[in-house]
Amino acid sequence: MKVYEIITNIILTKLEEGTVPWQRPWNTREAVPRNLVSKKEYQGINAFILGCQHYSSPYWLTFKQCKDLGGNIRKGEQGTPVVYWNWLEIEEDGEMERKVPFMRYYTVFNLAQCENIAEDKIPATTEATTTHVDKITQCEGIVDTWKDKPEVRHGKQKACYMPFSDLVHMPLLETFVNSEEYYSTLFHELTHSTGHE
């Protein structure tokens, strides 16, 4: 599969899941994705793709970088492809004939997907912006009476349903821009759980 097809499929999958990947209704610590080791910010489509993954940590690293820092990727986590491209000079008879584009992808993992990395290897980040967000009584009633509801754990790096453990991970209520966005996100993740056996 070609690199552009892989990136397009990531975006289409998010849209088919009902997620607009470029929208995040909660505040995060630092918005610009960057490599943990080099500290360089990702550019272009890479910044877009990594920003769509909804982790609050801005830091990403390859499997090898994680291992070199003494860490490991958490079991069950999947990486995100990022694109590398450059121009290659094609030579014929010792002279440069032309330049052609070269593109490939490699896989990176968010810091939140890693474990056992020493704290001194992780740069300090600012805390997520919080706002005063009130609970909506009717929405809380729906959640409280949800039949066979999975456990909901707050304070996580992203909003997602984890089918292998039947858990919903959610950012804290006060990090959302408003109550409606919080419950919209929570109900979206709870709806994913309705297909679980």
Domain boundary among 125, 159, 185: 125
pTM (two decimals): 0.55
DSSP one-letter string for 63-125 = HHHHHHTT-EEPTT---EEEEEEEEEEEEETTEEEEEEEEEEEEEEEEGGGEE---GGGS---
Same domain, 52 and 140: no
pLDDT band at residue 125 under the 50/70/90 scheme: low
Domain edge (last residue) among 100, 125, 150: 125
Q: What is the pLDDT of residues 6-49, one digit of tens each?
A: 777 877 877 777 666 556 666 655 567 899 999 998 888 888 88
Tell me, yes or no, whether 146 and 57 share the same domain.
Answer: no
Does 66 lie in the same domain as 140? no
Tens of pLDDT along 48-57?
Answer: 888 777 776 8
Same-domain check for residues 23 and 110: yes
Q: Which domain holds residue 95?
A: 1-125
Total domains present in the chain: 2
Could you tell me if 120 and 21 are in contact, meaning their C-beta atoms sit under 8 angstroms apart? Answer: no
- Report d(CA 46, CA 165) in Å as an integer: 30
- Quick check: 110 and 60 in contact, CB under 8 A? yes
Q: Given 83, 102, 125, which residue is the final one in a domain?
A: 125
